Amino acid sequence: MKPEVLKTLRGAEDCGSGADVMTAEQVESMAGTRWAAGTVVYYPEADSTNVRLRHLAEEGAPHGLLAVADRQTAGRGRRGRVWESPGGSCIYMSLLLRPDIAPEKAPMLTLVMACSAAEGLRDCADADIRIKWPNDVIAGEKKLAGILTEMSSQTDRINHVIIGTGINVNIKSFPEELGKTATSLYLETGREVKRAAVIGAVMRRFEENYDIFMETEDMSGLMEKYGNLLINTGREVRILKPDSQYRAVAGGINRKGELLVRREDGAVEAVCAGEVSVRGASGYV
């Protein structure tokens, strides 16, 4: 058996064994990390783990604190959307970071988490899990996880960064409209996994990738593995700007985390996540 196959099966087995109990202690001990999720605050119910963590950050909570909820009553997605957050089957977690970097570099941390979530989920499940630029985690052409990063900063320094991640884990069905674009680990593999183990796997990957990111304070050291996980590469995409759109073929990312695209006239352009949205030529991916 090839070593990577062995690793996938062992990972899936580890994440699947035992009851799906989520407590702060369970998550901390399953992660076994140095600092990411070194302390966990667990809420059976929260409005939004990003909001809970922002309050804790303002009271001085440390780098690496992780807020986890079983369900959210006001889960928030990107671009002001709602993140549906039923209880008992998914992961809603927010990680507090206090990086000593310039505020304009912080959006790249979202890509670091996308890479870590994709890798951690691959460690737990035998599924072809990829990233849709910049930070959606995808399986079977549908969205498995989403990331919402929020920052508090002054002109030249960061007070804190909150990376909120929602992962569809054991959920067995979605409302009809959402089901067209959303999937879960269970729907992709037919297996339930233990959420605390999945969180641990993602946190271990994040800790490793964050160190690589901080060496250069950009995506230089992660570009290759991010690129290998990227589903857009070689595909036709629609670049949606606020007042126009165009078609192009996606390549990889550059060291700033921008997506490189080749326009129909052959010109290569780097597009920035804050300024454009990317869709597949005829659908979500």
Q: Which chain residues interact with ligand BTN by CB under 6 A?
A: 48-50, 72, 75-78, 81, 83, 92-94, 146-148, 164-166
Write down the least CB distance from residue 47 to ligand BTN, Å. Answer: 8
Write down the least CB distance from residue 195 to ligand BTN, Å. Answer: 13
β 268-271/245-253 pair status = unpaired
Nearer residue to ligand BTN within complex by CB, 33 or 50: 50
- Helices first, then strands: H and E counts in the chain: 8, 12
Nearer residue to ligand BTN within complex by CB, 12 or 237: 237
CB burial readout 128-153, b (16+ within 10 A) else e: ebbbbbbbbbbbeebbbbbbbbbbee
d(CA 154, CA 205): 29
Write down the least CB distance from residue 205 to ligand BTN, Å. Answer: 17
Nearer residue to ligand BTN within complex by CB, 80 or 266: 80
d(CA 250, CA 280): 10
d(CA 11, CA 232): 26
Spell out the residues 6+ positions from residue 191 whose beta carbon is closer than 8 angstroms to its own.
12, 16, 125, 185
Q: Does the bond joining 175 to the residue before it have cis omega, within 30 degrees of 0?
A: no
The DSSP element (H or E) to which 70 belongs, if any, is strand 66-72
Tokens of 64: 């690496």
Write down the least CB distance from residue 225 to ligand BTN, Å. Answer: 21
Nearer residue to ligand BTN within complex by CB, 12 or 276: 276
Nearer residue to ligand BTN within complex by CB, 29 or 73: 73
Nearer residue to ligand BTN within complex by CB, 120 or 166: 166
Write down the least CB distance from residue 250 to ligand BTN, Å. Answer: 19
Report the residue count for the chain: 285
Write down the least CB distance from residue 216 to ligand BTN, Å. Answer: 26
Residue type, 257: G
Nearer residue to ligand BTN within complex by CB, 18 or 86: 86
**Of all residues in this chain, which one has the CB nearest to ligand BTN in the complex?**
146
Specify whether the CB–CB gap between 172 and 187 falls below 8 A. yes
Tokens of 283: 């659908």
Write down the least CB distance from residue 49 to ligand BTN, Å. Answer: 4
